[in-house]
Amino acid sequence: MSYNMEDKTASTPRDGVLHALDDCLARLGDDGWADAFVTLAQRTGAAQVMIFSYTPDAAACLLSRNFRAKALGARLGAEYLQGWFRQDPLFEVLLSLPTGALRRVESGDVLPDMSSAYRSRFYDRPGLQGKTAILATGAKLKLAVNLYWPRAASSAAPCPLETIAGRLALLHFEARPEHNYPAPLAVLSERERAVCLGILSGKKAEAIAADLGVAVSSVVTYRTRAYQKLGISSRGSLFAVCGK
């Protein structure tokens, strides 16, 4: 426990959670929400967080962050979107939920419905003990907020914070106005998004810099920040998470 000498009040782990919640609420619908949400997700003790949206024909990764190995989260997300999402037992469950529904599902509840190949690829080989999924449906979106637990953890005890995280994610992404760019780019700032759109259109850093009126070094900085928020590490991964 630490103390702030200015106000002489104690700082506790609960305070950190409350600050993270307050930050998420303050940034709902804004570009800075992703960073605030990642901080909140870390407070749950998860090793990885991923948010997916679904339609009957497709899935999109709206946020991906592995707190132990950044490349792992990017790889798993890309593979999942390449058709593996159809083998996820939660895919059909989420599509069947009515608007306004919120459901918590532990991976142990659906293990019997997983193929051995799916479980091996997304749980056993990455070294993830299990997953807590918060399924949330709104007027526009059907989301799965997935919190993955490390092998070192026994079993994740139910925690209201995880359900709150699911509600916050739905509120945020429902509040975002519809755009003609890929949904995963909604968590980026305007400049970060512009750089990613330039990359997706096949432009080099020099051309993107000229379009934005900034230095090439600034484009590299925006790209790095964007990749960190998206949980990816390469141009190929950007194309994968954006479904290109």
CATH of the domain at 206: 1.10.10.10
pLDDT at 195: 96
CATH number for the domain harbouring residue 107: 3.30.450.80
**64: part of which helix (H) or strand (E)?**
strand 58-66
In a domain? residue 1: no
Q: Which amino acid is at 189?
A: S
Give the domain extent around 212: 183-241
Residues 110 and 212 both lie in one domain? no
Q: Are residues 121 and 208 in the same domain?
A: no
6 located within any domain? no
Q: Let me know whether 169 and 225 are in one domain.
A: no
- The answer to whether position 214 is within a domain reads yes
Q: 101 with 120, same domain?
A: yes
pLDDT at 144: 96
Q: Residue 22 falls within a domain, yes or no?
A: yes
With a threshold of 0.85, does the pTM exceed it? no
Which pair of structure tokens corresponds to residue 120? 């091996």
DSSP-derived pairing of the beta strands 102-106 and 142-150: unpaired
The CA-CA-CA angle for residues 116, 122, 126, to 5°, reads 115
Report the SS3 class of residue 100.
coil
Residue 139 lies in a domain: yes
150 and 102: one domain?
yes
Sheet holding 58-66: strands in order across?
Answer: 58-66, 48-55, 142-150, 128-137, 102-106
Quote the pLDDT of residue 104. 94
Do both 54 and 92 map to the same domain? yes
- Residue that terminates a domain, selected from 126, 159, 175: 175
Number of domains present in the structure of the chain: 2
The backbone torsions φ and ψ at residue 110, rounded to the nearest 5 degrees and listed phi first, read -120, 5
* Any domain includes 4: no
Quote the tokens at residue 213.
């009126």
- Same domain (yes/no): 87, 205: no
What local confidence, expressed as pLDDT, does residue 98 receive? 96
Residue 2 lies in a domain: no
42 in Cβ contact with 34 (< 8 Å): no
pLDDT tens per residue across all 244 residues of the chain = 333 434 434 446 677 889 999 999 999 988 788 889 989 998 888 888 889 999 998 888 888 777 766 666 667 777 888 789 999 999 999 999 999 999 999 888 888 888 989 888 887 776 666 789 999 999 989 999 999 887 544 444 557 888 999 999 999 999 877 677 887 787 788 899 999 999 999 999 999 999 999 999 999 999 998 887 777 778 888 887 787 6
Give pLDDT, residue 71: 62
> Are both 128 and 219 inside the same structural domain?
no
β-strands 48-55, 58-66 pairing: antiparallel
Which among 157, 175, 193 is the end of a domain? 175
Is the domain of 141 the same as that of 191? no
147, 175, 203 - which closes a domain:
175
Q: Are strands 128-137 and 142-150 parallel, antiparallel or unpaired?
A: antiparallel
The pLDDT of residue 234 is 84
The per-residue pLDDT for range 21-44, each reduced to its tens digit, is 999 999 998 878 888 998 999 888
Check whether residue 113 and residue 223 sit in a common domain: no
